[in-house]
């Protein structure tokens, strides 16, 4: 069996061997065990379910909330000659039905990717019963836990799927999970017994630095000029992506910006320019990076503090995937604390305001009370905010809370290209082409450049067709509309608008319940996670130890490379000596009032070494002097 796994890996992915822990996870799944795999960003999670699925008859059902990543993986599998389909928000009912039918009727189909909100629909549950499923893979599995940083109630529908395929093993994968979340994932997915594989989250080639600076832009510029190679700068607002990109360009740094407000073409062009090296630095919101496997990123800089250490760990982890030295830099100053407090208020609008957004959303979608379940709607955020006079922040965060309550699913990363499906047989198509010369040229280009259009919806590019035909994009669009009107094709034009999917029918506002578990408890969890970020930035303790302890890894040695560890090296003594003297100092000042002047003489160690450790502790905010000159520890 192990030889079979390696043969599959070599045949389809071109690798001679697995990365650490991949093979053990694959063996566990192949033996029928429910398995939870904790692997850091870039650790090769997808291989752990793709390889065992290829080794058995049937298909693997993959649940993931990341639409862009889903599309990338499906296309990637298809380029390797592996049949795969995807179902996600923004697809028509006809598209969904066709993908499900192909997954049932074509024995060569090996993967069906599905976004979580689709799991509970009657059509999906009925079709799943007819599928030959060999593995249920849950990507981003932390989303099933209310203690996770991105809880999605639609993930709870997975239990229904398990009841329909009770003998099929589950592989849950995630890059970030605290110990509490690890247990919750296994409970919610109804693991038959605990079974967790952990790959160390430690990245020895990644150097973590925190810099407390007032002028973040100037310090960022220093870092970029000092570290060669490509990088990412993360900020929180769309406006700042352009502002900082312009600042870098003015200082002779090749840069561009990226955020969710750009068109599909703009995003693709900017992303490809950065991946190819034509652009050195991309300044982005957290909309950038998921599923982008660029191994030679040399630095990731956070201008603004992220909401959670989970998010920070994933974003910082996009640096140095080639296992060469790279830097994760967080820029911090005292004003960040105030900004985070404001962010808490913005993230949790008043409950009455959330209910008004829900009501206006129904009106915007022209949806009567009691209808809409299982349907998705285009959502133009700018148009909605103008129409109902909301701030975009209020709308975004209200929709997120409504999603956490299970009333809707809200997807911003929907960038669906135009798609076509031919509705007629080839003989009928030939007759139509003979009678319609102008449409004939468009049909020929589609058939020449796009495969599979008679059995499924396939993406097309109107601009490419226009270039080949030497006409305008508008002309191609009009021909496609005529083909659709004549029922030759089903044509779905490109759509990059966010999508709102109603997981329940629209309710009257008085029936809308936002309970403490979805508001007050979530707010407390949010505050706790923000405080963990502040602690990471402000407490002078080995950055790697802090991060790994947060994810449940204890007894981790100091990394020796972060800003804290390199500062500690200045004392010129062994780790054992340093820690021993540090504990003696804490013990001494806890037992009786002690001043800087008399401390070295009260500890039976070399006074010069005690003085060096004491100076380090004062410089790095472990100790302070009170108004009377006595030393006191600083709360950490």
pLDDT of residue 436: 92
Q: What mean pLDDT is predicted for residues 583-598? A: 78
State percent of the chain over pLDDT 90.
Answer: 54
What are the angstrom distances between the C-alpha of 211 and each of 173, 495, 510? 33, 41, 49
What gap in Å lies between CA 608 and CA 379, rounded to an integer? Answer: 67
pLDDT band at 13 (very low <50, low <70, confident <90, very high): very high
- For the chain, the straight-line distance linking the first and the last C-alpha, in angstroms and rounded, comes to 51
Residue 636 pLDDT > 60, yes or no? Answer: no
CATH of range 418-492; options 1.10.10, 1.10.3470, 1.20.120, 3.10.450:
1.10.10
What is the average pLDDT score of the chain?
88
**For residue 200, how many other CB atoms are within 10 A of its CB?**
16
Burial class (CB in 10 A: 0-12, 13-18, 19+), 510: exposed
User: What is the mean predicted confidence (pLDDT) over 76-97?
Assistant: 90
Q: Tell me which long-range contacts 217-222 makes (C-beta under 8 A, separation of at least 24).
A: 217/244, 217/247, 217/303, 219/331, 220/244, 220/301, 220/303, 220/331, 221/247, 221/248, 221/251, 221/253
Average pLDDT rounded to a whole number, residues 284-300:
84
Interatomic CA distance for residues 420 and 462, integer angstroms: 11
Q: What is the fold of 206-333+531-545?
A: Rossmann fold (3.40.50)
CATH class (in words) of the domain with range 2-198: alpha beta
Give the mean model confidence (pLDDT) for residues 54-63.
95
Evaluate if residue 604 carries a pLDDT over 70.
no
pTM of the model: 0.78
- pLDDT at 603 > cutoff 90: no
* 222-240 tens-digit pLDDT: 999 999 999 999 998 889 9
Q: Which residue has the higher pLDDT, 201 or 38?
A: 38
pLDDT of residue 3: 85
Mean per-residue pLDDT for 341-362?
92
pLDDT of the residue at 104: 94
What does the alpha-carbon distance between residue 384 and residue 498 come to, in Å, rounded to a whole number? Answer: 12
Q: For position 601, what pLDDT does the model report? A: 66
Q: Are strands 196-198 and 255-258 parallel, antiparallel or unpaired?
A: unpaired
**pLDDT for 119 beyond 80:** yes
CB distance 328 to 547 below 8 Å:
no
Closest CA to 23 of 60, 53, 48: 48
CATH class of 349-413+498-518: mainly alpha
* Contact by Cβ (8 Å): 579, 558: no
Cross-strand pairs, 109: 83
355, 512 Cβ separation under 8 angstroms: yes
Give the pLDDT of residue 609. Answer: 77
CA 494 vs CA 266, 378, 394: distances in Å: 14, 12, 28
472: three-class secondary structure by DSSP = coil
Least confident of 61-70, 178-187, 285-294, 446-455: 285-294
Would you state the pLDDT for residue 339?
84
Is 357 within 8 Å of 410 (Cβ atoms)? no
**Angstrom distance (rounded) from CA 484 to CA 482:** 5
Q: Do domains 2-198 and 349-413+498-518 have the same CATH topology?
A: no
Q: What are phi and psi of 382, to 5 degrees?
A: -60, -45
Which DSSP state fits 495? B
pLDDT at residue 335 above 90?
Answer: no
Q: Which of 260-264, 399-403, 544-548, 575-579 has the lowest mean pLDDT?
A: 575-579
Q: What is the pLDDT of residue 571?
A: 60
* For range 519-530, the mean pLDDT: 89
Task: Tell me the mean pLDDT in the region 361-389.
Answer: 93
Domain spans in the chain, listed from the N-terminal domain onward: 2-198, 206-333+531-545, 349-413+498-518, 418-492, 572-633
pLDDT for res 597 = 73
Is the pLDDT reported for residue 290 higher than 70? no
- Report the alpha-carbon distance of residue 236 to residue 336 in Å, rounded: 12
Copy the structure tokens of residue 147.
């203690």
**pLDDT at position 1:** 64
Structure tokens at 561: 């490379």
As a whole number of angstroms, the distance between CA 132 and CA 104 comes to 7
CA atoms within 13 A of residue 474's CA, in its CB half-sphere = 0
Most confident residue range from 270-274, 602-606, 630-634: 270-274
- For residues 335 and 265, the model is more confident at 335
Q: Which of the four pLDDT bands, split at 50, 70 and 90, describes residue 26?
A: very high
The band of 541, judged by pLDDT with boundaries at 50, 70 and 90, is confident
Kindly report the CATH number that applies to the domain delimited by 572-633.
1.10.10
Q: What is the mean pLDDT of residues 206-220?
A: 94
Highest mean pLDDT among 257-271, 421-435, 490-504: 421-435
Strand 499-502 relative to strand 376-378: parallel, antiparallel, unpaired?
A: antiparallel
The backbone torsions φ and ψ at residue 110, rounded to the nearest 5 degrees and listed phi first, read -110, -20
Among 17-26, 434-443, 489-498, which stretch is predicted with the lowest mean pLDDT? 489-498
Residue 9, exposed/middle/buried by CB under 10 A (0-12, 13-18, 19+)? Answer: buried
Residue with tokens 């280009």: 445
How do residues 437-487 score in pLDDT, each as one tens digit?
889 999 999 999 998 899 889 999 998 999 999 999 999 999 999 999 999
Q: What is the pLDDT of residue 2?
A: 67
């Amino acid at each position: 069996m192990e030889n079979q796994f390696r043969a599959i890996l070599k045949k389809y992915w071109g690798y001679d061997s697995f990365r650490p822990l991949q093979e053990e996870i694959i063996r566990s799944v192949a033996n029928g065990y429910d398995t939870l795999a904790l692997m850091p960003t870039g650790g090769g999670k997808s291989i752990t379910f793709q390889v065992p699925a290829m080794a058995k008859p049937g298909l693997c059902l993959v649940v993931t909330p990341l639409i862009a990543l889903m599309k990338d993986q499906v296309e990637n599998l298809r380029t390797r000659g592996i049949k795969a389909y995807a179902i996600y928000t923004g697809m028509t009912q006809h598209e969904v039905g066709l993908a499900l039918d192909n997954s049932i009727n074509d024995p060569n189909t090996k993967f069906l990717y599905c976004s979580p909100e689709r799991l509970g629909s009657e059509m999906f549950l009925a079709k799943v019963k007819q599928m030959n499923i060999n593995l249920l893979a849950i990507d981003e599995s932390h989303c099933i836990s209310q203690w996770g940083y991105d809880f999605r109630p639609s993930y709870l529908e997975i239990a229904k799927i398990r009841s329909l395929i009770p003998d099929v093993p589950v592989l849950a994968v995630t890059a970030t999970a605290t110990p509490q979340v690890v247990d919750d994932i296994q409970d919610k997915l109804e693991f038959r017994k605990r079974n967790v594989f952990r790959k160390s989250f430690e990245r020895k080639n990644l150097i973590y630095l925190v810099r407390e600076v007032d002028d973040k832009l100037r310090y960022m510029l220093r870092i970029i000029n000092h570290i060669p190679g490509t990088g990412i700068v993360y900020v929180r607002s769309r406006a700042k992506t352009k502002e900082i990109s312009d600042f870098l360009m003015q200082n002779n740094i090749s840069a561009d910006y990226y955020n969710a407000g750009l068109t599909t073409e703009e995003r693709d062009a900017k992303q490809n320019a950065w991946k190819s090296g034509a652009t050195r630095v991309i300044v982005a919101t957290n909309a950038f990076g998921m599923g982008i496997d660029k191994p030679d990123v040399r630095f990731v800089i956070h201008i603004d503090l992220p909401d959670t250490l989970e998010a920070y760990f994933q974003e910082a982890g996009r640096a140095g995937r080639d296992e060469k030295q790279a830097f994760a830099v967080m820029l911090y100053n005292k004003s960040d604390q105030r900004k985070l407090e404001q962010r808490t208020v913005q993230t949790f609008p008043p409950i009455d305001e959330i209910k008004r957004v829900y009501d206006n959303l129904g009106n915007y979608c022209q949806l009567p009370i009691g209808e809409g379940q299982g349907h998705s709607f285009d959502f133009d955020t700018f148009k909605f905010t103008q129409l109902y006079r909301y701030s975009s922040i209020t709308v975004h965060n209200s929709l997120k809370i409504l999603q956490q309550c299970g009333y809707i699913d809200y997807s911003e990363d929907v960038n669906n290209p135009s798609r076509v499906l031919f509705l007629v047989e080839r003989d009928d198509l030939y007759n139509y082409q003979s009678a319609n010369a102008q449409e004939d040229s468009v049909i020929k280009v589609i058939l020449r450049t796009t495969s599979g259009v008679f059995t499924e919806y396939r993406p097309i590019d109107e601009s490419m067709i226009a270039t080949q035909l030497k006409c305008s994009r508008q002309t191609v669009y009009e021909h496609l509309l005529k083909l659709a009107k004549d029922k030759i094709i089903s044509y779905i034009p490109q759509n990059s608008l966010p999508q709102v999917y109603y997981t329940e029918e629209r309710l009257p506002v008085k029936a809308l319940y936002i309970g403490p578990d979805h508001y007050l408890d979530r707010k407390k969890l949010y505050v706790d996670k923000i405080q963990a970020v502040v602690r990471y930035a402000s407490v002078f303790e080995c950055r790697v130890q802090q991060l790994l302890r947060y994810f449940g890894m204890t007894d981790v040695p100091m990394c020796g490379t972060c800003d804290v560890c390199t500062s500690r090296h200045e004392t010129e003594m062994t780790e054992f000596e340093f820690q021993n003297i540090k504990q003696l100092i804490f013990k001494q000042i806890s037992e009786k009032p002690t001043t800087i002047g008399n401390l070295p003489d009260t500890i039976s160690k070399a006074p010069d070494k005690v003085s060096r450790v004491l100076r380090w502790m004062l410089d790095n905010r472990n100790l302070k002097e009170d108004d009377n000159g006595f030393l006191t520890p600083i709360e950490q």
